[in-house]
Each structure stands twice: as structure tokens, then as C-alpha cells.
Amino acid sequence: MVSLRPTFVTPPPAPRYPNTARRRNQQGVVRVEVRLDERGQQLKLTLVRSSGVESLDQAALEAVTTWRFRPEIVDGRAVPSRVEIPIEFALTANR
């Protein structure tokens, strides 16, 4: 089961924007898939789609490893699941 709306034990902290990517004005969206067991523990983390910038991809993966998910509930029971998460790295005009 793929969930597009994961729920979290605590709000996930934003990924750290790599300094080199910021200096080079590199932006992008990284798509990460997380496989969870019935307790919401991470089993596997996969880069589904690269942003095209390796440092952004790495920062996204590092951030997601620290996130704590709630288990997916189906018919009142916790079940293993997969979540796909887009992580956007965007530079704003005001610095």
C-alpha cells in the first residue's frame, strides 16, 4: 500500500540546504520512498527520482532517515506501508 499522505509522530524537520547547492543556485525536487513496518519504523529508504543535484539528493535522504512516522491504519489495524515523499529545495528571492 502506497500512502501519499504520511503522518508523523513529531513534525519532521526540514532538510538542511547544502551550502554548495545554495551558492550555485541549485534547486530541485527529490522524491523519496520509505517502506514502513506495521509499527511505523523505517525498513528501507529509496531515492525514487533525483533532483539532478547529488548534494540535494543526499540531504533529502539524510533528513528522512531522522523522521518518525505513524503506522498506516487499515480497518483499525496497523499495517506495513510505503510512503512517497516529494522534498523540494527552493531558493527564495530574499536572502
Q: What is the pLDDT of residues 59-85, one digit of tens each?
A: 999 999 999 999 999 999 999 999 999
Q: For residue 32, list its beta bridge partners.
A: 47, 85
Instruction: Please tell me the predicted confidence (pLDDT) of residue 26.
Output: 97
How many domains does one find in the chain? Answer: 1
In a domain, 94, yes or no: no
**pLDDT at residue 92 is higher than 90:** no
In a domain, 95, yes or no: no
Quote the CA–CA distance of 74 and 46 in Å, as a whole number: 24
In a domain, 22, yes or no: yes
**Residues 15 and 89: beta-carbon distance below 8 Å:** yes
Quote the CA–CA distance of 82 and 42 in Å, as a whole number: 9
In a domain, 76, yes or no: yes
In a domain, 75, yes or no: yes
In a domain, 71, yes or no: yes
Structural domain that includes position 35? 2-89
Instruction: Write the DSSP symbol of residue 40.
Output: S
Quote the CA–CA distance of 26 and 35 in Å, as a whole number: 28
Q: What is the pLDDT of residues 4-51, one digit of tens each?
A: 678 999 999 999 999 999 999 999 999 999 999 999 999 999 999 999
In a domain, 79, yes or no: yes
CATH number of domain containing 49:
3.30.2420.10
